[in-house]
Chains A and B, each alone.
Chain A
Amino acid sequence: MMRFERILQTEPKPLTSDEREKVDHLLEDLDDFLEEHPNLAEEAARKANGEELEYDHPGEAEQYLRGVEQDIAHLKSVRRSRNTEAQAAINQSVKNDQSWLLSGEK
C-alpha cells in the first residue's frame, strides 16, 4: 500500500485521556466555577471602578475563559480523527461552553 493511501485507512480513534479530561472540564466545571464566584459581576464592576479587590476573581475568570476557549479549539482540531462516540462527546462539550461564552447563558 502506498504511503498516502495508508492515511485513508487510518481508523478513527477514541478520545485520549487528555481529551477526555478537556471534555469533562467543559461539561462539568463551569457550574463549579460560577458557584465558586457568585459575585463575579459585582466584583468586575468594582474592579472597573478602580477598586483593589482582595482576590482578583474577574482576572481569574478572564484566564479561565481563555483556557476554555483553548480547550474548545483543541477538541475541534482533533474531532475529525475521532470515532463517532468521541465526536458526540466533543460536540456536546463544545456546545455546552460555547453557548455560555457567546451569551453568558447555558
Chain B
Amino acid sequence: MNTAEDSKSIFEKVRALSSQEEARVYGTGLWKLCHRLANVGYPPAKEFFIKGLEDPRWDWRRVSVELLGSHYKLEHQVIDKICHLLLNDPDSGVRIASAYTIGKQTPFPEKNIIHALVIDSSELVREAAFSALLEQAGVAYKTKLRELDRVRAKEITPNLDQVKRILIDENLSTSSALLEEK
C-alpha cells in the first residue's frame, strides 16, 4: 500500500510525464503508476483522469476511462463524457473500457450501452456492451461468465434478444420489464 507521500510523488511524476506530448502510457511502466494512484483512490488523480478523457492521445483516454470506472464513483457530467466516448471514440479499446465503466456507474438499462451493443463495428465492443448490460441487470457473475463463454464458442451472438433471454432464464423479471420499456 502506498503512503500519502508516495501517492503525491507518483502523482507529480505522472502529471509531469503526461504534459510531454510523446509520453506513452503503455509499455513504459506508466500504466502501473496510474493504477497505483487509482488503487488507493487518490483524489487528485480522479480529477487528472477526468481531464484525460479529453486527451487527444488514445492511450491517455483509454487508461483514464479504465481507472475511473473500476476505482472511483463518478458524477453525471463525467458519465456523460464517457457515454460520448463509447459512441464516438475512434479507438475501440477506449470504447471497450467505456462500456464497462458506464455499466458500473449507471442503472440498468443504460441506453448508450444498448446503442453500442446494436451498432458498434467492433465485435469486442459489442461483447463488452453485452457484458456490461448483464452485470447492470443483476445477472450473477458466474452466469455472465458462462454466457460470455458461449459467445466465444459462437453458440450465441451478443445482442439484445440474448440479453432478454438471459434475464428470463434467470428470473430477473424487473430487469426484463425495464428493458421492454426501452
A binding-site residues for B, Cβ under 8 Å: 17-18, 21-25, 27-29, 32-33, 35-36, 44, 47-48, 50, 55-60, 62-64, 66-67, 69-71, 73
Contact = CB atoms under 8 A, between A and B. Distances in A.
B104 A59 contact: yes
Contacts of A32: 29, 31-32, 35
A51 B143 CA distance: 15
B127 A66 contact: yes
Given A66-B127, A67-B62, A70-B93, A59 B100 contact: yes
A-B pairs, top 8 by smallest CB distance, nearest first, are A24-B27, A25-B26, A60-B70, A32-B32, A63-B100, A67-B93, A28-B27, A66-B96
A63 B42 CA distance: 22
Given A27-B27, A29-B26, A59-B100, A66 B124 contact: yes
Interface residues of B, number: 34
Interface stretch (B8-16, B134-142, B168-176): B134-142
B70 A59 contact: yes
Interface of B: 24-29, 31-32, 35-36, 39, 58-59, 62, 66, 69-71, 92-93, 96-97, 100, 104, 122, 124, 127-128, 131, 135, 140-142, 145
A106 B142 CA distance: 25
Contacts of B122: 70
A25 B27 contact: yes
Contacts of A58: 141
Contact of B32 (A36, A63, A64, A67): A36
Contacts of A59: 69-70, 100, 104, 135
B109 to A, nearest CB: 18
A33 B38 CA distance: 13
* Best-buried of A35, A48, A59 by chain B (most CB within 10 Å): A59
B53 to A, nearest CB: 16
B113 to A, nearest CB: 13
Contact of A24 (B28, B58, B131): B28
A75 to B, nearest CB: 12
Contacts of B100: 59, 62-63
A57 to B, nearest CB: 7
Nearest to A31: B32
A63 to B, nearest CB: 4
